[in-house]
Structure 1
Amino acid sequence: MSAPVMTVSGLKTSFRRKGIWLPVVRDVSFDIHAGETLALVGESGSGKSVTAMSIMRLYSPETCRIEGSVTLEGQELTTLPERKMRDVRGDRIAMIFQEPMTSLNPSLTIGDQISEVLVAHRGLSLKEAMKETRGLLEKVRIPSAAKRLEEYPHQMSGGMRQRIMIAMALACRPRLLIADEPTTALDVTIQAQILELIKLLQEEEGMAVLFITHDMGVVAEIADRTLVMYKGEAIERGETGQIFAQPQRGYTKALLSAVPKLGSMQGEAGPARFPLVDVETGVPVEMPDVKDTVSAGPVPLLQVRDLVTRFDIGSGFLGSTSGRVHAVESVSFDLKAGETLALVGESGCGKSTTGRTIIRLQDATSGSVKLDGQEILGLTGQDMRAMRRHIQMIFQDPFASLNPRIQVGDAVAEPLLAHHIASSKSDARERVADLMVKVGLQPDMASRFPHEFSGGQRQRLCIARALAMAPQIIVADEAVSALDVSIKAQVINLMLDLQESMGLSYLFISHDMAVVERMSHRVAVMYLGEIVEIGPRQAIFENPQHPYTKRLLAAVPIPDPARRGIRRGLSNEEIKSPVRSLSYVPPKRDHMEVSPGHFVQSWGDEWGNAAAAA
């Protein structure tokens, strides 16, 4: 076998805090060969991103100390002068970061940003660099590449921005590409496109790839070998197929067990808890079956009919209306007591706006929303406050949802006091202690501040605050999408426990189809503000009818290394814009019932090719 492109040996990274050097990464060693993909796997805080940043020497030497050896094609990088290290970065080693919007300069055009790399590292003239940039955009399959050169980052979707980052990384034909969670923030269909693109370009360029992720489904899809990190140490390594088939360490087993697997619920009608494994021993934790909590009553708890939400777009000096965003268009569904209805779709499809409109955080343009038979869209003042006791919301980012300046106990107690549910502050404290226990936290944690909790614990606090009002319905807006895989499994299991014990109904908004499969009773698929398919969870996942539903399901990464050689085919499709002219009149949609409770929107020419391909 040829010599590796990169060899990392005994890497140790320490950060200085209050004059003391604290080790964060300890004795990490690996190598990567040309044309090979090594996945660095672990949850938040495991040290995988610090490892990548240490290889690139992107930390200040005043606050960070790097020990050990990092060689690139035989050249030691840890002792290289900073001036020469700058020549290595972006040229022989390139890096793609997790969030493309913060990685790109918003004040420069796409063409200027990529050509800057070519001028700096390859000495091309600006004209030559622009010509090369156009070729790079075509290589990463960006449509109308010549026109895109003059566009700014904000004019592109998340998937296209990530393609721009890949084009920039490939500008100098690097020997090693470091991809740090490049698909975590993307929708499932866009994620599939980016993974396929990286595999395709790797074959064309023969470069080595260090792929950093916590998503084991992505690992199975892209990695030749896998290195598992836990608390700053490399605890397990090997061929990806071997790691999946015969994991040795308890943490690796726990990581794999918590991965939601699409299709694992085949034949099951209702939700099921995620299987968990003890991190230290690797022994499965016994999980009880989920009891049926759905009410068989004649009247649904929540009735949504022909809900429409639109936003005016202003332009010109006087801000006259030039168009409208049709965010939610004629959406109708029911939610029974004790039921979970999942709203799924890509970013921009209108699912979050639907949830916010129902809870009256956003005004509806028209339509009807009834809670226990009472119309709530027209409520004001005291009636509105009373309604909010029955419907609560859990947001995606728990840290942004909590006030960093007040103790979490006060944050949970606040609605109890505001709505006079607690008779006194001491009564509120007792109720808070009960709620903390209910969501799996210790009562004495109430005196801490949000920054003293992990992401999973903060989301549990947000759930406790929502439960404080004893609501009938909880709108969970991407409530687990930002969490690590094992924490996500724990929070989902907690939500199922609470539904069982309190009879809660959930409107579960998500783009993670594998999580939705385990969590929901029914599923509604949204596209451009409309529900294109709705029905029992089993019918949607085992017998999808609409081409868009099929496309969503086909894009989900399957945690099976045997599928790594499969090529999905690269699509350049993006979700279309919901912006319409003022004169636009939405067409009347027809829905057909293909099985009991399973309705599908009729589709025309727009989905004709997709239906034929499916």
Structure 2
Amino acid sequence: MAEPVISVSSLRTSFRRKGAWLPVVHDVTFDVAAGETVALVGESGSGKSVTAMSMMRLYASDTCRIEGEVKLEGEDLLKLSERRMRDIRGNRIAMIFQEPMTSLNPSLTIGDQISEVLVAHRGLSFTEAARETFGLMEKVRIPSSANRMKEYPHQLSGGMRQRIMIAMALACRPKLLIADEPTTALDVTIQAQILELIKLLQEEEGMGVLFITHDMGVVAEVADRTIVMYKGDAIERGRTEEIFASPQRAYTRALLSAVPKLGSMNGKTGPARFPLIDVVSGEPVEMATVGDTVSAKPVPLLQVRDLVTRFDIAGGFLGSTSGRVHAVENVSLDLRAGETLALVGESGCGKSTTGRTIMRLTDAHSGSVQLDGKDILGLSSQGMRDIRRHIQMIFQDPFASLNPRIRVGDAVAEPLLTHGIASGKADASARVAELMLKVGLQPEMASRFPHEFSGGQRQRLCIARALAMAPQVIVADEAISALDVSIKAQVINLMLDLQESMGLAYLFISHDMAVVERMSHRVAVMYLGEIVEIGPRRSIFENPQHPYTKRLLAAVPVPDPARRGIRRGLSNDEIKSPVRPLSYVAPKREYREVSPGHLVQIFGEEWGHAAAAA
């Protein structure tokens, strides 16, 4: 093994809280060698990001105490002056953060921001820095680099912004790259591109990489060695293939058991619960069962026909409309009682807008939405209020969905009282207690405020509030995307249990194909506002027909370390813009039936190269 680029020994980090020091990282020790990738894995609160920030000394010294040793090529970083540390940050150690928009200056062009790093750290002139910036943007495979240098962060996609952050990190040719959840917020295809890019650049530069994540599928694809963290302790370490093949600690087994594996549902028709493992005992806490409880009722509960949603873009003369975003274009789908229809695709494909339009949270341009035979789009405000008793929505961010100043019990009781479902406060309280138990929370928790709950518990509260109305349909818009892997598995199991006991129909909006495979009955794939393929879950996953569907499935990280040497090939493709001129007339699409209920849009020349590659 090569000499360590960095050696961390007995690292301890404490934060000052109410006059006392609270330890959050305890005696963590590891090395990262040149050309090696070490993964720090664990769920939120495990201490993995605090470990990285402590290594970089990014915490204020008056509120944070860091002890131990962090030696970069033999030099102990914890003993250096702040001025010397500023020289090392960006020069010899670089860091990529999860959300690039919080790290990029919105008022400076991309070229100026990268050049600034080169001028400050390498002493280049502005002309030399501009030339080097162009080279760095080419290195991270940004198409049309010369033009992109003049653009601002908001003009780039999430994947391109993350590439810019990688270019800035590589500007000074660091010995160590710390990547802190760099792909968590990205779509699956963009995530695959970024992972492939980091691997390629590591080979070219020979740098060590410390990769921080909670996604075990990503760990399997990138890491040579893995360190598992739990409550501030490094509880297990070893070669990645050994960790996956024979995990020694209960928590590691629990993490791995909760990872959805693409292809694990092959040959099965209905959804399946996750086989969870207790993090303390290592024993199974629930058996995985497969159910197919879709109602045989021939008439769909929810019918959407030729739904169109467009947004005007102002910018013409005197603020006139200069173009339109064709967010949803001629979407048709059915949803039956007890069924889960997953709506999948990348950011910007129109899946969330479809859900919001169905809920009348966004106005439709044309089309029809019928719930149990009633036309939703034609209802008055009062009529819509009544219909919302039967169709509810769960959003991605539970904290943003709950009022921080209202106790959670009152938040769940509010719709019961507003719609007259509960006869009074006492009846509402009793119903809230029932709902809390139903979603796996204790009734006494109703007196707490949202900030006193974990992310998974807050999402359970949002589910309880949605269930308060006894709805027939629930639109779940990326409802589990922000959750840790084991919490995600618990919430999915809860949703499947509730569907089985209450006959709920879910419109499940997601970009996580491995989760969709496990919990859906049917799948609709969206691209640029249109459904390009729809059918039974088994047909879509085992026999995908459209090139875009194949591309989505090929990009899913597989939790198998044996695949680490496989190269996907780096694509620079970005999802095309849905902005159209005012004169644009959407073409009438045609579909062919591949098998019963499995329809695929007939694709033209624009998909020719993709079809050939697939």
Q: CA deviation at 1:383?
A: 1.1
| Contact 2:269/2:292 (<8 A) preserved | no
Map of 1:184 onto structure 2: 184
1:279 aligns with 2:293: no
Q: Which residue is equivalent to 1:52?
A: 52
- Partner secondary structure for residue 78 of structure 1: helix
Q: Distance in 2 between matches of 1:38 and 1:581?
A: 49
Q: How big is the shift at 1:121?
A: 0.9
Structure 1 residue 288: deviation in Å? 5.1
Residue identity matched to 2:606: E
CA distance, structure 1, for counterparts of residue 408 and residue 483 of structure 2? 19
Letter in structure 2 aligned against 1:413: A
Corresponding residue number in structure 2 for 1:142: 142
For 1:87 and 1:582, the matched residues in 2 are separated by 53
Residue 360 of structure 1 pairs with residue 356 of structure 2:
no
Letter of the 1:71 counterpart: K
SS at the partner of 1:69? strand
Shift of 1:317: 6.8
2:408 aligned with 1:390: no
Q: Please state how far the C-alpha of 1:273 moved relative to its aligned partner.
A: 0.3
Q: Does 1:123 align with 2:123?
A: yes
Q: 1:289 deviation in Å?
A: 2.0
The alpha carbon displacement at 1:233 in A equals 0.4
The answer as to whether partners of 2:258 and 2:276 remain within 8 angstroms in 1 is yes
Partner of 1:595: 595
Counterpart of 2:38? 38
Aligned partner of 1:350 in structure 2 is: 350
Matched, 1:324 2:356: no
Residue in 1 aligned with 2:94?
Answer: 94
**Structure 2 counterpart SS, 1:429:** helix
Offset of 1:432 from its aligned partner?
0.3
Q: Which moved more, 1:143-152 or 1:166-175?
A: 143-152
1:278 Cα shift? 1.0
Q: Which residue of 2 aligns with 1:412?
A: 412
State the distance in 1 between where 2:468 and 2:439 align.
11
- Per the TM alignment, residue 318 of structure 1 is displaced from its structure 2 partner at its CA by 3.0
RMSD between aligned alpha carbons?
Answer: 0.7
* In 2, Cα distance between equivalents of 1:242 and 1:318: 65
Deviation at 1:582, TM superposition (A): 0.2
**Inter-partner Cα distance in structure 1 for 2:470 and 2:286:** 29
Identity %: 83
SS in 1 for 2:227: strand
Q: Equivalent residue of 1:284, what SS?
A: coil
Q: Is residue 488 of structure 2 the alignment partner of residue 478 of structure 1?
A: no
2:195 matched residue in structure 1: 195
- Aligned partners of 1:125, 1:298: CA distance in 2, in Å? 72
Q: Deviations over 1:65-86 (max 9, x none)?
A: 0000000000010010000000
Mapped pair 1:528 → 2:544: no
Residue deviations 1:417-473 (CA, integer Å, cap 9, x gap):
110100101110000000000000000000000000000000000000000000000
Q: Give yes or no for the alignment of 1:313 onto 2:313.
A: yes
Amino acid at match of 2:424: S
Structure 2: how far apart are the matches of 1:242 and 1:231?
22
Letter in 2 for 1:78: L
Counterpart position of 1:263: 263
Alignment of 1:366-385 (within 5 A): 366-385=366-385
Q: Quote how far apart the aligned CAs of 1:2 are.
A: 3.7
d(CA) in 1 for partners of 2:317, 2:232 = 55
Note the alpha carbon deviations across 1:36-94, whole angstroms, 9 max, x for none: 00000000000000000000000000100000000000001001000000000000000
Instruction: List aligned pairs for 1:428-443, cutoff 5 A.
Output: 428-443=428-443
The answer to whether the aligner puts 1:229 opposite 2:229 as a matched pair is yes
Q: How much has 1:275 moved relative to structure 2?
A: 1.2
1:466 aligns with 2:477: no
What is the deviation of 1:286? 3.5
SS in 2 for 1:524: strand
Distance 1:142 1:358 in 2: 37
Q: What SS class does the counterpart of residue 367 from structure 1 fall into?
A: strand
Q: Which letter does structure 2 place at the counterpart of 1:179?
A: A
Q: Report the 3-state secondary structure (helix = DSSP H, G, I; strand = E; otherwise coil) of the residue aligned with 2:304.
A: strand
Query: 3-state DSSP class of the match of 1:318?
Result: helix
Deviation at 1:404, TM superposition (A): 0.2
Structure 1 residue 613 corresponds to structure 2 residue 613: yes
Partners of 1:387 and 1:114 in 2: CA distance:
52
1:448-527 equivalences under 5 Å are 448-527=448-527
Q: Give 3-state SS (helix, strand or coil) of 2:58's partner.
A: coil
Deviations 1:316-335 (A, max 9, x none): 57321000000000000100
Query: Is the CA contact 1:290–1:500 (under 8 Å) kept in the aligned structure 2?
Result: no
Task: Check whether the contact 1:306–1:332 (CA below 8 A) recurs between aligned residues.
Answer: yes
Which amino acid in 2 is paired with 1:252? T
Measure how far apart 1:345 and its partner are: 0.1
Distance 1:513 1:288, change over 3 A: closer
* Residues 572 and 21 of structure 1, relative CA distance in 2, 3 Å threshold: same
Please state how far the C-alpha of 1:298 moved relative to its aligned partner: 2.0
* Correspondence for 2:582: 582
Does the Cα contact within 8 Å between 1:95 and 1:177 map onto a contact in 2? Answer: yes
Matching residue's letter, 1:417: L
Render the CA deviation track for 1:117-176: whole Å, top value 9, x for unaligned.
111111100100010000000000000111111110000000000000000000000000
Asked if the contact 2:141/2:572 (under 8 Å) is kept, the reply is: yes
Residue 281 of structure 1 and its aligned partner are, at CA, apart by 1.8
The answer to whether the Cα contact below 8 Å between 1:343 and 1:351 also exists between their aligned partners in 2 is yes
What residue is the counterpart of 1:295 in the other structure? 295
Q: CA deviation at 1:283?
A: 1.8
Which residue does the alignment assign to 1:555? 555
Note if contact 2:477-2:509 (Cα within 8 Å) is conserved in structure 1: yes
Aligned partners of 1:290 and 1:496 also within 8 Å: no
Alpha-carbon distance, 1:290 to partner:
3.8
Matched-pair contact (CA < 8 Å) for 2:274–2:288 = no
Amino acid at match of 1:286: E
Contact 2:272 2:291 (8 Å CA) reproduced: no
Q: Deviation per CA, 1:536-556, whole angstroms, max 9, x where unpaired?
A: 000000000000000000000
What CA distance in whole angstroms lies between the structure 2 residues aligned with 1:437 and 1:8? 45
Shift of 1:248: 0.1
Asked whether the equivalents of residues 391 and 474 of structure 2 are also in contact (C-alpha less than 8 Å), the reply is: yes
- Count of aligned pairs: 614
* Matches of 1:59 and 1:556, distance apart in 2: 35
Matched-pair contact (CA < 8 Å) for 1:341–1:521: yes
| Structure 1 residue 384 displacement after superposition | 1.0
Deviations 1:467-506 (A, max 9, x none): 0000000000000000000000000000000000100000
CA contact (8 A) 1:38 1:226 kept: yes
Distance, in Å, in 1 between the alignment partners of 2:2 and 2:352 is 51
Instruction: Tell me, in whole angstroms, the C-alpha distance in 2 between the residues paired with 1:472 and 1:2.
Output: 60
Q: What's the offset of the Cα at 1:373?
A: 1.2
Q: Which moved more, 1:256-265 or 1:280-289?
A: 280-289
> In the alignment, is the contact (CA less than 8 A) between 1:217 and 1:559 conserved in 2?
yes
Question: How far off its partner does 1:284 sit?
Answer: 2.2
Moved over 4 A (4+): none
Q: In the alignment, does 2:62 pair up with 1:65?
A: no
Q: Read off the aligned partner of 1:95 and give its amino acid letter.
A: M
Displacement after TM superposition at 1:292 (Å): 2.7
SS in 2 for 1:481: coil
- State the partner residue of 1:173: 173
Query: Distance in 2 between the 1:67 and 1:510 partners?
Result: 42
- Find the aligned partners of 1:21 and 1:259 in 2 and give their Cα distance: 35
Partner Cα distance (1:347, 1:285) in 2: 35
- Hey, what's the Cα distance between the residues in 1 that align with 2:568 and 2:288? 37
Counterpart code for 1:423: S
Residues 528 and 578, structure 2, Cα contact 8 Å, conserved in 1? yes
SS of 2:318's equivalent in the other structure is coil
Give the CA deviation at 1:237.
Answer: 0.1
Q: Deviations over 1:171-201 (max 9, x none)?
A: 0000000000000000000000000000000
CA distance 1:601–1:154, shift in 2 (3 Å): same
